[in-house]
Structure 1
Amino acid sequence: MATGDIDQQDSLLALELERYKLLLEEEEDEENDPSSMSLVDHLEELRWRVFKTLIAIVIGAIIAFIFRDQIMHFLELPLPKEADALGRGKLVVTGVAEGFTVFLLLSVAVGIVLALPVLLYQVWAFVAPGLYEHEKKHAIPFIFIGIVLFLIGISLGYVVLHYPLEFLISFASSSFTELVTANSYFTFVAFFILAFGLIFELPLVLTFMAQVGLISADTLVKKRAAAHIGMWIAATFITPGADIYSPIIIGAAMSFLYELTIIFIRFTKRKEAQAA
């Protein structure tokens, strides 16, 4: 039994030494690469990457502005009927230019979502030359998974959105007449849905930290109880409404993503060991 443990430790040590040698060779190749760019070249490339990203956002915003009525109607569906104090089935604006401003900001927000693949690709294209080969192979799956998780998060946020809205609007309906302005409503919707989208990036962030050696699957297992308690407490503060449904849904989602991250990190490490 002891001999088997020693052999296993020797195998792990040999694996780490081989990985270290590969890192040194890649670093030497990077240093001796004649195509390495200067600081000015990097700044110039960054400028063009940002410019291309802005063009993609502008194109997405134009498309969203064309379909602004359909987008606005879709985002208004979770709004309770009690919010329509005037009985006209429309949100309220309080300024001459507020209607145009709301449409413009809404179009930009949707344009950013539509341009997300282009934005992530430009970030990847700028960072890729400075990465090692073993790091580059993880980038494309990470970008794809990040987009999918973000879309799942904002979709779940849209489904849950009705519950905090209904509670907040009906809470003081007996004492006040609720006039929901377009600006306040869409600001609330944007922050609420964005919170869900960012929370669903939790597996990606933790897996990246594991790849760079900051944490491990064993660390997450040891801290599991404290992490779940902390996430459920955070869920009550992240959701702005005092309804019971939103914290439960977001807390359950965070706990599920945490456990999924442990499985994903172990799977990734096992694949790397097999490849090595």
Structure 2
Amino acid sequence: MARKGRTAERQSKLEGRMRLAEHLREFKRRFYISGAAIVAAAIGGFFLAEPLLRLLSSPLAELQAAGLDVELNITNITQAFDVQMRIGFLLGIIISSPIWIWQLLAFIVPALRTIERRYVFGFIAAAVPLFIAGCATGWFVLPRIIRLFVGFTPDGFTAFLGATDYWDFSLKLVFAAGVAYTLPVVVVFLNLAGIVSGRAILGAWRWAILTATLFGAFVTPAGDVWSMFIISVPMVVLYFAAAGIALLVDRRRAKRESARVEA
């Protein structure tokens, strides 16, 4: 009997190792597919880098039309290639996102329960449009910020802006606004996971307003109050919407638990 027990234990361990090996092979396969998709999209994004950079520099054309001396320049030999590589890599990640997100979900979702799968897909379905809306808001605010900063250039001077610095500044602003708009979705997801309650979320509204205001002041220049409100006010509205959804989820959860106890 003891030998049979040891044999069964060894067999179960062997099966566990085989399952782990299969998971690793599956992860490697999906990782290679995602990497190949990103590289292929980045190659195409490299050729789209120049028109995108021209689009990003359109606020400078408006400043030039207004009479301000401002130019976007390449300041060293490799900078033009470096900027196009950065833009191409970013576009590669964005363009190939349906492929690598699907590969990630296909690897994770089979291990989740049905209700957890709904949470994951619901999280993505809500986060993507909010991220796009946040990026659009950052894009709308970008010309005002550039106009304000370049406007400090003294008369008789020309503002020479490095292409790399300009690209990094524009990207950080647009991306930061996009991430900020998705934070309420993260709050709702934490509530669905049972980590934080709706009352706790609503009770922290003062901190939420303070955080949104500080974030708006951080990503927009001091003195441009209108741009700060464009960033912070939607964040506050989304936070209260997330708190309302969390309260509804808690109420439904309490009803299910009471019905289960009565049954």
- TM-score, normalised with respect to structure 1: 0.76
Q: Distance in 1 between matches of 2:250 and 2:18?
A: 33
Q: Distance in 1 between matches of 2:16 and 2:256?
A: 29
1:253 pairs with 2:219: no
Aligned positions of 1:188-227 closer than 5 A: 188-227=169-208
1:153 pairs with 2:105: no
1:107 pairs with 2:88: yes
1:92 pairs with 2:69: no
Of 102, 110, 115, 1:121 maps to 102
Spell out, residue by residue over 1:214-234, the C-alpha distance to the aligned partner (whole angstroms, 9 max, x if none). Answer: 212111222212321232123
Q: Distance in 1 between matches of 2:36 and 2:107?
A: 17
The answer to whether the Cα contact below 8 Å between 1:83 and 1:178 also exists between their aligned partners in 2 is no
Q: Distance in 1 between matches of 2:191 and 2:153?
A: 47
Aligned positions of 1:53-68 closer than 5 A: 53-68=34-49
Instruction: Give SS of 1:180's match.
Output: strand
1:193, CA displacement in angstroms? 0.6
Rate the CA distance shift 1:89–1:63 in 2: closer, same or farther, 3 A: farther
1:184 pairs with 2:159: no
Instruction: Give SS of 2:59's match.
Output: coil
Instruction: Give SS of 1:91's match.
Output: strand
The answer to whether the Cα contact below 8 Å between 1:232 and 1:251 also exists between their aligned partners in 2 is yes
Instruction: Give SS of 2:122's match.
Output: helix
Unaligned runs of 5+ in 1: 1-33
Instruction: Give SS of 1:63's match.
Output: helix
Of 127, 131, 135, 2:116 maps to 135
Rate the CA distance shift 1:209–1:177 in 2: closer, same or farther, 3 A: same
1:184, CA displacement in angstroms? 0.8
Q: Distance in 2 between matches of 1:240 and 1:37?
A: 56
1:81, CA displacement in angstroms? 4.6
Rate the CA distance shift 1:269–1:57 in 2: closer, same or farther, 3 A: farther
Percent of residue pairs identical? 26
Q: Distance in 1 between matches of 2:255 and 2:31?
A: 39
Rate the CA distance shift 1:213–1:70 in 2: closer, same or farther, 3 A: same
**Residue in 1 that maps onto 2:5:** none
Q: Distance in 1 between matches of 2:162 and 2:50?
A: 16
1:169 pairs with 2:147: no
Rate the CA distance shift 1:232–1:275 in 2: closer, same or farther, 3 A: same
- Further displaced range: 146-155 or 121-130: 121-130
Number of residues of Structure 1 aligned to a counterpart in Structure 2 = 242
Q: Distance in 2 between matches of 1:134 and 1:36?
A: 28
- Cα root mean square deviation, aligned: 3.0
